[in-house]
Amino acid sequence: MRFTTSAPRDNASLVDDNVYDDVMVSKQQDVSSDDVYDDVMVSKQDNVSSSAENQLSKQKANLQQPGRDRKSKISPERAVLLVLITLLVVAVFALSITVFYLMKNERCRTLKEDLESLKMIVLDETWPKCEAGWERYGGSCYFFSNSTSSWNDSRRSCADLGSDLVKIDSREEQMSLEIRLRETIKNNETFWIGLTYSKTEGSWLWPDRSPLNTSLSFWAPEQPDALGGAEVDCVWMMKTENPAEVRWYDRRCDDDLRSICEKDSKIQLRFCV
C-alpha cells in the first residue's frame, strides 16, 4: 500500500517541475523577443537619426554653395525667357518715353497754333495798329516811301525807321503787296525790295542774308535777265504787261526808286523750348 501511494506523488512532482520549466522557457523566449524588438526599434531610430543628419548636412552644403545650385536649376529655356522679358521691358520703356515726347511736342505745336490765332485776333481787334504812316498786313508793318533813292540808300532809310527793305517769304505776303501796289503804282512807279545778288556767294539773298527760296520767287517772265550783262544786282517790283500782276525785276542798284520797308509787329511769346 505504501508503494502504491508514493509513486503517483513523485509523478505529480515531476509534472509540476516540467510545467515550471516550460513556463520559464516561455518567459525567457518572451524576454528575448522583447529584446529583439527593442534592438530593432533602436536600429530604426539610429537609421532615422542618420537620415536626418544626412539631410542637415546636405542643406548646409547647399547653403554654402548657393551659386552652383542656382545655376544648376536655371535651364537654357528659362534663361532665354528671362532675356526676352528683359528686352520687352526695355522696349516698352523706350516706347513710353518716345510717346511722351511726341505728345509733348504735339501739345506744344497746338499751343503755338492757338497762340498765333489768339495774337491775330488781338492784332485785328484790340492791339494798336502800326505807327502813323505804316500799314499792316498779317503780322508785319509796311512803309511805302514817297521819295526815291538807290537800293543802298533806301535800305539805310528803312534802318532809320527801325526796319529793313521788305523780305517776301510767303505767297500770301506777295499777294497782299500786289493788291496794295496795284492801288498805289501810277505811271509805272517801281519799288525796291530787299532781294539782292551776292557775287561772293553766287546767289540771291535777303537783307538777313537768308537765300532766296526758289519755290517762293515771283519773277516776271524772262527775269532775271542781267540786262545785257550789266550789273543788275538789285530787285524791284512793278506791274507787268498784265496790269493785274506785280512781279520782280532785276535792276542796277544805283537807280533811284521808291522802296518798301518792313518791320515785325508780332508779339514774341515762348511757351515751349
List pLDDT tens digits, range 39-93: 545 455 555 455 656 666 666 555 555 544 444 567 888 888 888 899 999 988 8
Three-state SS for 199-220 is CCCCEEECCCCCECCHHHCCEC
For residue 165, give the 3-state DSSP assignment.
strand
Residue 272 placed within a domain: no
Cell 534802318 found at: 159
In this model, does residue 231 exceed pLDDT 50? Answer: yes
Is the domain of 152 the same as that of 177? Answer: yes
pLDDT at 158: 96
Is the domain of 156 the same as that of 245? Answer: yes
Residue 107 placed within a domain: yes
Is the domain of 202 the same as that of 115? Answer: no
Instruction: Name every residue whose Cβ is closer than 8 Å to that of residue 193 and which is 6 or more positions away in sequence.
Output: 165, 166, 167, 168, 235, 236, 237, 248, 259, 260
pLDDT at 272: 47
Residue 225: CATH number of its domain: 3.10.100.10
pLDDT at 273: 43
Is the domain of 150 the same as that of 163? Answer: yes
Q: Sorting pLDDT into bands at 50, 70 and 90, what band is 226?
A: low
Number of structural domains (the chain) is: 3
Is the domain of 204 the same as that of 143? Answer: yes
User: For residues 200 and 36, which has the higher predicted lDDT (pLDDT)?
Assistant: 200
Residue 271 placed within a domain: no
Of 184, 173, 198, 170, whose CA–CA distance to 238 is shortest?
A: 184
Is the domain of 85 the same as that of 145? Answer: no
Is the domain of 161 the same as that of 224? Answer: yes
pLDDT at 212: 93
CA 238 to CA 191: how far, in whole Å? 7
Is the domain of 248 the same as that of 139? Answer: yes
In this model, does residue 103 exceed pLDDT 60? Answer: yes
Is the domain of 18 the same as that of 117? Answer: no
User: For residues 33 and 74, which has the higher predicted lDDT (pLDDT)?
Assistant: 74
pLDDT at 38: 52
pLDDT at 53: 63
For residue 190, give the 3-state DSSP assignment.
coil
Residue 273 placed within a domain: no
Is the domain of 116 the same as that of 178? Answer: no
Residue 15 placed within a domain: yes
Residue 43 placed within a domain: yes
Highest mean pLDDT among 33-37, 124-128, 183-187, 202-206 belongs to 202-206
User: For residues 52 and 2, which has the higher predicted lDDT (pLDDT)?
Assistant: 52
Q: Sorting pLDDT into bands at 50, 70 and 90, what band is 12?
A: very low
Residue 205 placed within a domain: yes
In this model, does residue 167 exceed pLDDT 80? Answer: yes
Is the domain of 91 the same as that of 46? Answer: no
Residue 269 placed within a domain: no
Highest mean pLDDT among 7-11, 110-114, 269-273 belongs to 110-114
- Range from 21-25, 95-99, 178-182, 207-211 carrying the lowest mean pLDDT: 21-25
Is the domain of 107 the same as that of 42? Answer: no
Q: What would the pLDDT profile of 237-268 be if each residue is shown by its tens digit?
A: 988 777 678 899 999 999 999 999 999 875 44
Mean pLDDT of the chain: 75
For residue 98, the enclosing domain spans 74-127
